[in-house]
Structure formats: C-alpha cells, structure tokens
Amino acid sequence: MGALDYTMFLLVKQLSLKHVKEEIDGDIKRRFEKTTAKSRAIANLKKKLYFKKSDAYSHYCKLLNILAIKLFNEGDKHALTKTEMILFAIADKDVVKCVFNKLFPQEDNAVRLIP
C-alpha cells in the first residue's frame, strides 16, 4: 500500500466515505471554476484528522509519559527512555499490524491484510 493509499484509507475510515467524497467533489468543482487552483482536498481532510505539526510533539510526549508510568515504577529515572526504545523496537511491524487489526477485526473467514 502506498502512502497516498494509506492516507486515503485512514481518511475514509475515520471521517467517512461520504465526507471524503464531498470534500473531493467540492475540490474538483473549485478547480473547474478556477483552472489555476491547486487541489487542496487531501490537505484539507488531513487537517481534520491529524495534529498540527507544532502540537504533535507535545501530544507524543504526554502519551509517552502515560505509557512510561503504566509500564515502569514511578521512581525509575529511565522509564521514558525505556518506553521510547520499546516503541521504536515494535514500530516497524507490530504497531502497523495492530492498527490494521483494530480497523479490520478478524472474522472467521476473513483474509488478513498483514500476517
């Protein structure tokens, strides 16, 4: 799955197909009316789903702190570092697998997207 496919998949799953379609249809209409206009549909939809870049690190740090407290003793001065290393170690496969499995719960006869 390419980056655009994954982005569209997340947008449709989180915002609904109807909402994504309406945004894209509106974008096409604007570009027909003004031929010099650039497509902004994906960018506009992503603003509704993703954190602003300026806020993302703050949210990440808060989440990291919550996880560290749940995983390790509060007195462990290396809890944040350990938690971050665990996340880095599992990120390349397990996180993606978990996300897809949450989005597409396994049914008895379903084909798994990620083994």
Quote the domain boundaries for residue 85.
51-115
Q: CB count, 10 Å around CB of 69?
A: 14
Choosing from 50, 70, 88, the residue where a domain stops is 50
Helix or strand holding residue 30 (H, E):
helix 17-33
Same domain, 74 and 38: no
Location of structure tokens 């027909």 = 32
For residue 80, give both structure tokens: 């944040």
* pLDDT of the chain, 115 residues: tens digit per residue: 566 777 888 888 888 889 889 999 998 888 888 877 788 888 888 888 888 888 889 999 999 999 999 999 878 999 999 999 988 887 777 767 777 777 777 654 444 554 4
Same domain, 61 and 7: no
Same domain, 28 and 78: no
Same domain, 65 and 115: yes
For residue 3, give both structure tokens: 């980056």
Q: Is the overall model pTM greater than 0.75, yes or no?
A: no
Same domain, 63 and 46: no
Same domain, 65 and 44: no
Same domain, 71 and 86: yes
Is the alpha carbon torsion for 107, 111, 114, 115 positive or negative?
Answer: positive
Query: What is the reported pLDDT for 97?
Result: 76
